[in-house]
Amino acid sequence: MARRTQSGGARRVTGTKDLKDLRKGAVLHRNRDMDWERLMAKPSAERRIAVDVLLSPWNDAGRSGLELTLLDEDGFSGAARIERAFEPARDAERAVQTLRDQLTRLGNTDYVARDVHLPADAAWFVPASVLNGLRRDAVVALDTARTQGLERLPRAVPLDPPADYPEDTVSYLANVYNHKAAAFYARHGVKIIESAYESHEELGEVSLMITKHCVRYSLSLCPKQAKGVVGVQGTVRAQPLVLQHGDDTLTLRFDCKPCEMHVVGRMRPGVLRQLRDQPATVYRARE
């Protein structure tokens, strides 16, 4: 898959297997900007490794043929040979152009042809199928050379002492569900560490979901919508609403400053009874 960048060496990483292609000095962007994502999805955002294409004849112990070498911008090279008799083409100019066209068709590889170097007497007739096979073998050789020549960057030295966490208290929203997670926060200066909601220590009403989707906004009952509206401004309040789903009653609370809606509820009794029958607590209860 071609490297997708916006400028310089910026790259969008889509999975852990893509990390093998990272290079020293590459700029990574991690955000939720949909305009940026759409821009990166366009063909204009594709960046490929520039290669020089060199086609030359070879002769060894009475055998002869063609050799194709791909030299990339990082100094790696890959070559492939084929044994073949040289047949002069009827139309020399067209034959040379065909060679250039076929050798630069790098398709969905990570490479793009920068320069093509052909011998002065390269007016040979070579079938497209032969050139395609030669090109594929050279790309495989270049891929192998780049993989073997990859220099692993040394691991960063951990800070000593570790950097302080911005807060000295984390709630169940930090999702601390095992001892390693708790040890991480403690190592970074957190004094009070609450267990994750899955530890079933939060038995009262808590925020089960925090979402940007706002029911008040959808119903045109948002205080921000009422700003500047004569006769309406000041009359609309962010009062809680009730969401009824079967036998469950959930409270919707609204935090207008960050523009968030909290779905508030408590642990269902059936879940607690099930846990007593089949204990599944992983994180040690707070003392």
Tokens of 198: 């899955």
Q: pLDDT grade, residue 227 (50/70/90)?
A: confident
When mean pLDDT is compared across 152-161, 191-200, 232-241, the lowest value belongs to: 232-241
Q: What is the pLDDT of residues 198-216, one digit of tens each?
A: 888 888 899 999 999 999 9
Cα 240 to chain centroid distance, Å, stands at 38
How many angstroms separate the Cα of 213 from the Cα of each of 173, 217, 252?
A: 19, 8, 11
Please state the pTM of the whole predicted model: 0.48
Domains and CATH numbers, the chain: 3-47 (no CATH), 49-148 (3.30.390), 156-203+273-287 (no CATH), 205-229+236-266 (no CATH)
Greater pLDDT, 231 or 13: 231
State the DSSP string of 67-84. Answer: EEEEEETTS-EEEEEEE-
Among 140, 142, 146, 55, which Cα is nearest to 102's?
55
